[in-house]
Structure 1
Amino acid sequence: MSKLIVYLFFKCVHFYKYNAIAVEVLLGHGDCHVIIETDCKLNKEEIEDAIKRIAGNVDSNIRIVNQDIHLSNNQEGKIRCGDNGIFKGVPTSEEEKKLSAIAREIYGSYPYDGKYILDGEKLIICQSNIDNEILKAIYPKAIINPLGYWTGGPDVDTGATNRKLGSDMGRAVTGGGLHGKDLSKTDVSVNIYAHLKAQKENREIEFSCAIGDETVDGRPYSDIVEIAREYINSIGGFEEFAKWGLI
């Protein structure tokens, strides 16, 4: 939920090509707290509308502050790495593909909170706001809601933007986080680049970089940002990326 809100900001703001932004969202129990570091001019009303569209009738607390001057100066004149980290890409396994397909199938009919575990042939489905018998009819061999019926949404759980990094990256749990930052940040673009290269070469990929670096993997960092941008556009934009991560 919180990740969807973060990436609506990118749609609301009408970003120029290299605007920088870092967002943190905490959503739960009827409240949504948002802290934004950016030099862009944002419209709070558009952000509030996005929050209500996704999370419903929650109280929003939005704070916008200027980005750190050193980080801003780092992008003057040339696109340079905007963060430090070690980033890893791993080929997606057949098990991960199967689990992703199950999650998408369920969400297509029941767009509520859910968690899914697949261990060989053992499938556990924890899905909110649905009668267990409905899912049992679709997945007769699965373990459905072992603790019983539960309700999902912003009234029962809280989550900060990058809390679910592991589910977004599959087995490639890595430095930084995919959500809440613009494409100039390495923990967005280099994570995406490493993932794509791992799929193409069918092997684990690892990169490291520091703030201010102008090259990664022997190529200009601006090229990597554009590769990440093309990937985001190819899947339908940041909001779709926020729904499913890299798998």
Structure 2
Amino acid sequence: MIEKVNPSHPDKIADRIAGAIVDLAYRLHENPKIAVEVLIGHEYGHIIIETNVDFDKEDIAMIFERIAGGKKETRCDIRIYPQDTHLAKNQSKEFRCGDNGIFKGMPLTDEQKELSKIAREIYNKYPFDGKYILDETRLIICQSNADTKILKQEYPYAEVNPLGDWTGGTDVDTGATNRKLGSDMADSVTGGGLHGKDLSKADVSVNIYAFLKAQETGKEIKLCCAIGDREIDGKPYDEIVRIAKEYIDSVGGFEKFAEWGLF
């Protein structure tokens, strides 16, 4: 059983904004330290950034406007704070684990891969807020701004918009960073969140590493770490970061990664 939400779901809009800000951080700084939280909904947004990067708030506002929909009436409060000096020392001379964490990477099932395919197919036709569930007996499609009758014809075996046509998005719902980790990670488990953070954060790099190793080996991968660790799973932490960076680059950056998560 698995649920996917698409990139126009309010929570994913928040993830995408956070990811775009991290992308900007990497363009401005060779080794940025950043954590971003985004809350958006009902023509208002709030962004809190902790970082060692010297941002221009206008650049952040432009990211928000582009991803949130470009409505002139949508307002955004942006707060930028320096990273804690004590935490900064942890990474001042070498890559060391940036946080405590527990992680479980799981191989994807055929069911999970199939729903990811279906979600993308529907989103290509209807690029609006949507969510989808698949288990052994049911496919449930909830797609906003679409003709329910037409969707039922396209997916006759599915339950489509059980309450009828609907309009979604941030006009009628709120979104927050890292609130759809089940959609992002399937059966994999994390004690943190994937989005809005640089790769020194174990929540990002070790989650990606554990997921990739699970796909490669076909086995469950369990890992844990403490802040300051130099090695995880028998590998130097900078190698974990390198593997995660290669994956992020392969999907087009942190904003693109935020659209669908790990699958």
Q: Same fold (TM over 0.5)?
A: yes
The corresponding residue for 2:222 is: 206
User: Take 2:237 and 2:193, find their aligned partners in 1: how far apart are those partners?
Assistant: 18
SS at 1:234's partner residue? helix
Map 1:57-206 to 2 at 5 A: 57=71, 58-206=74-222
- Partner of residue 218, structure 1: 234
TM-score with structure 1 length normalisation?
0.97
Tell me how far apart the structure 1 counterparts of residues 50 and 222 of structure 2 sit (CA, whole Å).
29
Distance 1:232 1:142 in 2: 33
What letter matches 2:161 in structure 1? Answer: N
Q: Match of 1:18?
A: 31
Distance in 1 (alpha carbons) for counterparts of 2:161 and 2:189:
27
Which secondary structure does the structure 2 equivalent of 1:153 belong to?
Answer: coil
1:195-241 CA-to-partner distances (Å, cap 9, x unmatched) read 00000000000100011001001111000001000001111211210
Aligned residues: 247
* Runs (5+) with no aligned partner, structure 1: none
Q: Is the 8 A contact 1:88 1:206 kept in 2?
A: yes
Larger relative contact order, structure 1 or 2 (CA cutoff 8 Å, min sep 6): 2
CA distance in 1, matches of 2:28, 2:19: 12
1:116 aligns to what SS in structure 2? strand
Partner secondary structure for residue 159 of structure 1:
strand
Query: Runs (4+) of structure 1 moved beyond 3 Å?
Result: none
**Percent of aligned pairs sharing the same letter:** 61
TM-score w.r.t. the length of structure 2 is 0.91
What residue number does 1:53 align with? 66
Does the 8 Å contact 1:55/1:153 carry over to 2?
A: no
1:37 is paired with a residue whose SS is strand
Distance 1:18 1:137 in 2: 50
d(CA) in 2 for partners of 1:242, 1:68: 26
The 2-side partners of 1:133 and 1:100 are apart by 22
Residue range with higher mean Cα deviation, 117-126 or 188-197: 117-126
